Amino acid sequence: MLNDVVKLQNMSDIWQDLLPAKTYVSYGTLDENFPELSAIEQNSFGLVSHQRRREIQAGRMHGKNALLNMNIYGVDIPKNFNGSPKWPLGTVGSITHTQHLAKSYVAATVASSEYIQALGIDVQWLDLMRPDLWSYFLTNDEINCLLQQQLTKRNILANSIWCLKESAIKAVGYGDMLSWQVTYQSFNVGINEFILSNKKARSKCDLTGKSVNYQGLTLAAVYSVNKH
């Protein structure tokens, strides 16, 4: 049965349960002071609004904080040609940020590409995913799955699917919301588990997905672990 809201000890525990081993996270809010972007980072973005600049600064700061756990120092994280962060060679990662009214949240995660093939995270406030938006990002199968849930859990599952699909697009760098199919798998220790498949990929592309709802937030992560 899909779980609605769980109570875990703290945010570090949540990310640890969402992500595979040897993955590192840094997180906070947008209400902090952030270092200026490097010249390389600034040039990759060009002119942006003040708000967007703060989001970029926050994401880069937390990305670099996460990289410190891998003993990677003094690197730039410019924007890639497709808009994603360009992580240092030998690493994969993802950045997410969200803001609603006076609430904000930002997080970044990184891992070695030796262990993790693809990695993406996303966060969304629970009260934003209205039913009139469902058809823009949910497949017919996913909508039918929502309609089988209790009314109080439909928005929760819709939020989870949105965040999972955003995470998948970040993780692999292609696809859109409707090309990804999210299938609910199980509930384990406060975490809802899913499988994500891209229906338009030339070769099979399945990702492990996990989500949790905590303090008004839906947090999601998707990943593919390298097999050794």
Residues 186 and 209 in one domain: yes
Residues 131 and 48 in one domain: no
- Entry pTM: 0.93
- Which residues span the domain enclosing 73? 22-114
Can you give the CATH number for the domain in which 45 is found?
3.90.470.20
What pLDDT is attached to residue 189?
A: 64
170, part of any domain = yes
What pLDDT is attached to residue 182?
A: 94
Q: Which residue, 14, 59, 3, is CA-closest to 220? A: 14
Residues 31 and 110 in one domain: yes
Residues 133 and 226 in one domain: yes
| Domain boundary pick from 114, 137, 166 | 114
* Contact present, 6 and 99 (Cβ < 8 Å): no
Pairing mode, strands 217-225 and 191-198: unpaired
Residues 200 and 224 in one domain: yes
What pLDDT is attached to residue 3?
A: 55
161, part of any domain = yes
9, part of any domain = no
15, part of any domain = no
What pLDDT is attached to residue 2?
A: 55
47, part of any domain = yes
6, part of any domain = no
What pLDDT is attached to residue 1?
A: 46
Angle at 166 between CA 142 and CA 101, to 5 degrees: 105
- In tens, the pLDDT along 10-22 reads 888 999 999 999 9
What pLDDT is attached to residue 44?
A: 97
- Alpha-helix runs per DSSP H in 36-150: 39-45, 50-68, 134-137, 140-147
pLDDT averaged over 10-residue windows placed end to end, the chain, 228 residues? 56 92 95 94 95 96 98 96 94 95 93 96 86 92 90 87 96 90 81 89 80 92 89
228, part of any domain = yes
Domains identified in the chain, total number: 2
